[in-house]
Structure 1
Amino acid sequence: SNTYIASILAILHCNLVPVFVEPDIKTYNIDPKKVEEAITPETVAIMVVHLYGQCCEMDAIKVVADKNQLKIIEDCAQAHGAKYKGKLAGTFGNYGCFSFYPTKNLGALGDAGAITCKSEEDYNKLRQLRNYGSEIKYHNGIIGYNSRLDEIQASFLRVKLPHLNKINDHKKSLAAIYQNNLKDAFIKPVTDKDFDNVYHIYNIRHPERDRLKAYLSENKIDTEIHYPVAPHKQKALQNFNHLSYPISEEIHSTTLSLPCSFAHTQQDIHTVIEIINKFN
């Protein structure tokens, strides 16, 4: 219930019904303790979203999936290079789905993405789906999509990929400055030795988020809200608007993303901290 709507739209486009699960208020990711109670005889898969650059608690989720014979789909759009207990995001489940949108840690020049999988059968099916359902040119075996990665994006990503660790390390260094210097009035990301967070987004929470955002804007500091409206409250998902997920709704009403990109310097972050710590 705490994710970008794209995760849910993918389910709906497959003519399936999404079943929302509340996040852990400390990590903002799906709460493993609440997954099993959401499973029904009609459940076919568990989709986990590694939000903001931190992996979900995959050991516990895999136990539930294995017990109920369910597939695991990982939304890794914000978790390039993130690890849980030393293992990379995208390698736990049946599928790992990556976005290379330009703002991602591994970003292309435009829209782009990739899927990882573990079987030859899935590999061949995915290649067919992305190319109008075709394995042989102009012969279409299934209903597919035009979803190929174009050569320009692929070439750019191939050059950028060897630098991913450098990009992630830089963002981690900026996040560490925030962690060590922001006042405790701001709820900061929780750190844990089992989770290697790559901080696609460095988010804080504050009960007066909107006033804080306006204050920072007045001081020439741009911030973003990821995300202002919980998915089940979006107009596009009006069939779910009656549902209540208070933890997700609290996160959406209090979260704020601070500057934390490869383009920012450590001095930039110290400047942000100096200004934000004066907020009252």
Structure 2
Amino acid sequence: MNIPMVDLKVQYNAVKEEINRGILEALEKTQFILGPNVTAFEEEAAAFLGVKHAIGVASGTDALHLALAAAGIKEGDEVITSPFTFIATAEAIRYVGAVPVFVDVLPDSFNIDPAKIEAAITPKTRAILPVHIFGQPADLSAIQAICTKHGLLLIEDCAQSFGADVDGRMTGSFGAFGAFSFFPSKNLGCYGDGGLITTSCPELAEQVKVLRNHGSKVRYHHSVIGFNSRLDEIQAVILRVKLKHIREYNEGRRRVAHLYSSLMADAGVVTPFEDGIGTHIYHQYTLLTDRRDAIMKALADAGIASAVYYPIPLHKQDVFAPDYSGVVLPVAEDVSSRCMSLPIFPEMTDEQVRRVAAVVTSVR
């Protein structure tokens, strides 16, 4: 495609010398597992996010899994979450034997609808796991109030929201845990898989550190069954370099998004929503349209990428459908049938944005 969904090469070229130098230094030191760059990145990320502890793990999925495990979520427990997200959110709940309870989303932000959460709470409910979808923070004030009222844990899925804030406070700092992904296309992405768990509770942080390292505090002494889920030293080098630029990257995405929205104000599509409370950092620029297939074809014909995130809500996925056959979540189902995402990355030029918007606007 002439205009891809994300251009990782242009970003790499901008920080190439520093990344390459850091990788070579790490190779010379040969401390590849939980080395000095992992420790330094954890400290730098914790400071940026405003939390006391940040623990690097192997992926965003592992971040969710280990957070739930460290929180003591177990077989038979229920965790309330969104159906409009990547499957990893619900996979992680199933990994610990718990049951995902899907609550419908808001029609504007696509985040879980707080007004519908309390009706889904049962004596088995242990936690609420909101997803800050596409970089728009969920309504954390309302969700926190529900958690406090019912004695539930708040665990944030921040896979798409590194650097998003609510009134100056970063996502990932509100709940008992925040879980982040560093998949290459993320706002803060490494060059492979990587993840991070945040918490301000020292006991929970220690539990995560034990779980990520085969259940061990002291080498060859294992207190629990753990996992092999450690952030790689080389990926930590890359993340340390890119973390210095994350505000710039997020502002670049916001610039692109706002230009898109202004250019497509009369295009007959629903452009993304900003609630004015949380800062949307646009991991994806996702619009709603009844002409999705036609627009995507026109974009492809013009050499422009597009994608659908997400075409099937989780309660309709083959792996979950048998257990949720009677569940109807009309907003999530409608959004999945009409959503589509346009190219967005910090280095995208105004000319590229105008070209994409012109194609979208031309389809009537």
**Structure 1 residues 65-74 or 225-234, which shifts more?**
225-234
Number of the residue aligned with 1:239 = 322
Q: CA deviation at 1:208?
A: 2.2
| Aligned match for 1:186, one of 255, 258, 269 | 269
* TM norm structure 1: 0.98
Q: Structure 1 unaligned runs (5+)?
A: none
Number of the residue aligned with 1:66 = 148
- Report the AA paired with residue 306 of structure 2: T
**Structure 1 residues 97-106 or 180-189, which shifts more?**
180-189
Alignment map for 1:85-100 (pairs within 5 Å): 85-100=167-182
CA RMSD of aligned residues (A): 1.0
Question: Tell me, what secondary structure is at the counterpart of 2:191?
Answer: coil
Question: Tell me, what secondary structure is at the counterpart of 1:144?
Answer: coil
In structure 1, C-alpha distance between the alignment counterparts of 2:92 and 2:274, rounded to whole Å: 30
**Structure 1 residues 159-168 or 135-144, which shifts more?**
135-144
Cα pair 1:22 1:247 within 8 Å, conserved: yes
Question: Tell me, what secondary structure is at the counterpart of 1:44?
Answer: strand
Percent identical among aligned pairs is: 38
In structure 2, C-alpha distance between the alignment counterparts of 1:111 and 1:237, rounded to whole Å: 25
Number of the residue aligned with 2:215 = 133
In structure 1, C-alpha distance between the alignment counterparts of 2:194 and 2:123, rounded to whole Å: 35
Cα pair 1:26 1:189 within 8 Å, conserved: yes
**Structure 1 residues 160-169 or 187-196, which shifts more?**
187-196
Cα pair 1:71 1:94 within 8 Å, conserved: yes
Number of the residue aligned with 2:300 = 217
Cα pair 2:137 2:164 within 8 Å, conserved: yes
Deviations 1:35-70 (A, max 9, x none): 111111110000010000110011111110000010
Q: CA deviation at 1:238?
A: 3.3
Is the counterpart of residue 108 in structure 1 residue 108 in structure 2? no
In structure 1, C-alpha distance between the alignment counterparts of 2:323 and 2:354, rounded to whole Å: 42
- Report the AA paired with residue 100 of structure 2: P
In structure 2, C-alpha distance between the alignment counterparts of 1:216 and 1:153, rounded to whole Å: 34
Q: CA deviation at 1:4?
A: 1.0
In structure 1, C-alpha distance between the alignment counterparts of 2:198 and 2:316, rounded to whole Å: 31
| Aligned match for 2:313, one of 230, 252, 258 | 230
Cα pair 2:252 2:347 within 8 Å, conserved: no
Cα pair 1:53 1:198 within 8 Å, conserved: yes
Deviations 1:228-249 (A, max 9, x none): 1111111122333412211111
Is the counterpart of residue 56 in structure 1 residue 135 in structure 2? no
Cα pair 1:234 1:241 within 8 Å, conserved: no
Cα pair 1:82 1:88 within 8 Å, conserved: yes
Cα pair 2:267 2:361 within 8 Å, conserved: no
Deviations 1:133-189 (A, max 9, x none): 111111111111111001000111011101000000000000010111103411011
Segments of 4+ moved more than 6 angstroms: none
Cα pair 1:86 1:194 within 8 Å, conserved: no
| Aligned match for 1:10, one of 78, 92, 111 | 92
Question: Tell me, what secondary structure is at the counterpart of 2:175?
Answer: coil
Cα pair 1:171 1:262 within 8 Å, conserved: yes
**Structure 1 residues 138-147 or 230-239, which shifts more?**
230-239
Is the counterpart of residue 196 in structure 1 residue 294 in structure 2? no
Is the counterpart of residue 279 in structure 1 residue 360 in structure 2? no
Cα pair 2:256 2:344 within 8 Å, conserved: yes
In structure 2, C-alpha distance between the alignment counterparts of 1:141 and 1:210, rounded to whole Å: 54
Deviations 1:48-95 (A, max 9, x none): 100001100111111100000101000000001111222111011110
- Report the AA paired with residue 179 of structure 1: S
Question: Tell me, what secondary structure is at the counterpart of 1:81?
Answer: coil
Which structure exhibits the higher relative contact order, with contacts defined as CA atoms closer than 8 Å and separated by 6 or more residues? 2
- Report the AA paired with residue 133 of structure 1: G
Question: Tell me, what secondary structure is at the counterpart of 2:244?
Answer: helix
Deviations 1:225-276 (A, max 9, x none): 1011111111122333412211111111110000111242121101111121
In structure 2, C-alpha distance between the alignment counterparts of 1:69 and 1:224, rounded to whole Å: 39
Question: Tell me, what secondary structure is at the counterpart of 1:49?
Answer: coil
Cα pair 1:233 1:240 within 8 Å, conserved: no
Is the counterpart of residue 249 in structure 1 residue 333 in structure 2? yes
Q: CA deviation at 1:197?
A: 0.4
Q: CA deviation at 1:215?
A: 1.8
Is the counterpart of residue 259 in structure 1 residue 343 in structure 2? yes
In structure 2, C-alpha distance between the alignment counterparts of 1:197 and 1:66, rounded to whole Å: 26
Alignment map for 1:19-34 (pairs within 5 Å): 19-34=101-116
